Amino acid sequence: FLYRRIKEDLPEEEYLVPIGKAALRKEGTDLTVITYGSPMHAVMKAARDMASEVDIEVIDLRTLLPLDWKTIRASVAKTGKALIVHEARKTGGIGGEIAARIAEELFESLDGPVIRLAAKDTHNAFAAPMEDYILPNQEKVTEAIRKLAAY
């Protein structure tokens, strides 16, 4: 069974994803969403659906080590707000490391708290209803964006 049944068009020719270089998937001015992997699709849908409410900048990390801190720093400094979305558990996940670095190096630029949206600190779910409960999805992303945008 295909994981999440997500489809996208890929180039016919061989291509490389640069290691350590994030992709700016959507430019925005109100807040930055930092994500990677499967949550990218929920984030992009939420960004499209909320376009009339919030101008969201979306960063696709693509790789975690090395982390493209330059792209993260520039975006968060511009928008003043950061939401980190990932499927790993919240405790001990990469989101905590990114949030800590934002707090350490960009505190003066922030207009609100750094928010993390991650999997609940529990077992891995294999049933679809449990995945919906445990993992970030479009509804949870939208709620987190609204919460952060209100600051």
In a domain, 4, yes or no: no
In a domain, 104, yes or no: yes
Amino acid at 23: A
CATH number at residue 83: 3.40.50.920
Residues 6 or more apart in contact with residue 51 via CB below 8 angstroms:
none
Residue 4 has pLDDT above 70, yes or no: no
Interval 16-42: pLDDT, tens: 889 999 999 999 999 999 999 999 999
Angle among Cα 11, 8, 97 to the nearest 5 degrees reads 100
In a domain, 8, yes or no: no
Interval 95-132: pLDDT, tens: 999 999 999 999 999 999 999 999 999 988 788 888 88
In a domain, 38, yes or no: yes
Domain range for 52: 19-149
Give the separation between CA 2 and CA 66, rounded to whole angstroms.
28
In a domain, 97, yes or no: yes
- Peptide bond preceding 66 in cis form (omega within 30 of 0): yes
Give the separation between CA 85 and CA 116, rounded to whole angstroms.
6
CA separation (Å) from 13 to 10, 16, 22, 78?
9, 10, 21, 35
The count of structural domains within the chain is 1
Interval 57-71: pLDDT, tens: 999 999 999 999 999
Give the separation between CA 10 and CA 45, rounded to whole angstroms.
19
Can you name the residues that pair with 85 across neighbouring β-strands? Answer: 35, 117
pLDDT for res 5: 63
Residues 6 or more apart in contact with residue 110 via CB below 8 angstroms:
76, 80, 81, 82, 102, 103
